[in-house]
Structure 1
């Protein structure tokens, strides 16, 4: 698989998202993330409009429900022709396996390539304190993420979403060929906002990330293309 830098299109409307993408001369070279805010505002039509520009799409809805519900939802999402989708790793092996089955059925029905299934481990906004005191998890963060990743792989997921801080543990403990998507990416000159476990693009790449997601440091920047280029350079030159 390629190692893309994904731009998070965290906008309230499709118009805002498409206006943002118009700043790029070659949008067909971009991979973008469409999350809950934009998808819930616009529905599946936003997928078609972004696909028409040639972008690859990471549809990040983090499905988390009983296995049959997730299977049927993934069947529908596969029909949209997106490239990556997510479930919550905490949903368990049966739910993840059902998600994989739904994607396979939907992709076959549409005659499309099956989307890459990623299981979300612990959000990058979760600290060790929250993990212990609110989720009542006694494992250290790295061990918890590893446990979720191992479960996801056995259930048929193609990879996981994790922070950069767990990459070394995952790469040392998991077999080759698993996909690691890392959000919470910030260059030193950019603020961390509500993220807790962050790192630079170069750090993520050197520690085994397969892809990264960058949002506000690019989308909220007055100089969009320049900001994107800074992050891409740090990512590709690592």
Structure 2
């Protein structure tokens, strides 16, 4: 994996209802961070316009819509997302091998048609809000969360995907099963000075970096801070101390 700048490894989750709110946050953060996650809440409100605005500001975008449907439908979604210029998108590993394979193939073909760099296509393994009781008794998957995550990670790798979204708690096992170059994108990151909110399987930024995370996704500890730019700088400093 290429040597990325520290700021390229931290995505801020723009979980807002309105585009003006999201763009105000981008303006507040300025050059401190230039990589953002756009999820369902914002994208379903604004559509592709928010991506156009972020790209116009020179930002990278992780489109977090978690595609999960029949293979042909997901391939079409991946093609459309690639045409919007996103740098990363995700699918649900629970959709199976063929669905994931078609998503990656469609994104590569769409990028090649325009001469663009293909986006990373990664798979969601288990949400960071899912604990073992929920997974076993409600979702109906037996065994430990870690075992389920590793099974999905290996399936995603076999399908040709670039990496996975997972809790930092499963990072060492993912690296052992899939290798150090298999991209790991870690949400549920909470600095010691921030509240856990609805996340159950969380790590601090430093702990995630020590475990080998490639990218971190952080929302409320930055976007709900009294001074978002200062919060972002503190997190970057914590990440940097581990890598120095």
Q: Distance in 2 between matches of 1:98 and 1:18?
A: 33
Give secondary structure in 2 for the equivalent of 1:61. strand
CA contact (8 A) 1:86 1:119 kept: yes
Deviation (angstroms), 1:148: 0.1
Pair 1:152-2:156 in alignment: yes
What secondary structure does 2:89 align onto?
Answer: strand
Q: Is the 8 A contact 2:154 2:177 kept in 1?
A: no
1:195-214 → structure 2 map (5 Å cutoff): 195-214=199-218
How large is the Cα RMSD of the aligned pairs? 1.1
Alignment of 1:47-62 (within 5 A): 47-62=51-66
The CA deviation at 1:110 is 2.4
**Aligned: 1:31 with 2:41:** no
- Give CA-to-partner distance per residue, 1:103-132, whole Å, 9 cap, x none: 012112222110000100000000111011
Deviation (angstroms), 1:68: 0.2
Match of 1:112 among 91, 112, 116: 116
**TM-fit CA distance, 1:176:** 3.1
Contact kept? 1:118, 1:161, Cα under 8 Å = yes
**Equivalences, count:** 237
- For 1:210 and 1:112, how far apart are their aligned partners in 2? 22
Aligned equivalents of 2:210 and 2:120: distance in 1? 22
CA-CA distance at 1:53 after TM superposition: 0.7
Q: Which residue of 2 aligns with 1:125?
A: 129
Aligned mate of 2:69, from 62, 65, 70: 65
CA distance in 2, matches of 1:39, 1:220: 19
Q: Which of 10, 25, 40 is the matching residue for 1:20?
A: 25
| Structure 1 counterpart of 2:235 | 231
- The gaps in structure 2 that reach 5 residues or longer are none
CA distance in 2, matches of 1:98, 1:25: 37
Checking the alignment, whether the CA contact within 8 Å between 1:77 and 1:106 is kept in structure 2 is no
Mapped to 2, the partners of 1:148 and 1:202 lie a distance apart of 25
Displacement of 1:25: 3.2
Give the equivalent residue in structure 1 for 2:168: 164
Q: What is the SS of the residue equivalent to 1:123?
A: coil
Alpha-carbon shift at residue 96 of structure 1 (Å) = 0.1
* Alignment-derived partner of residue 181 in structure 2: 177
Q: Per-residue CA shift, 1:185-225, capped at 9, x if unaligned? A: 00112111000100001100111100000001100111111
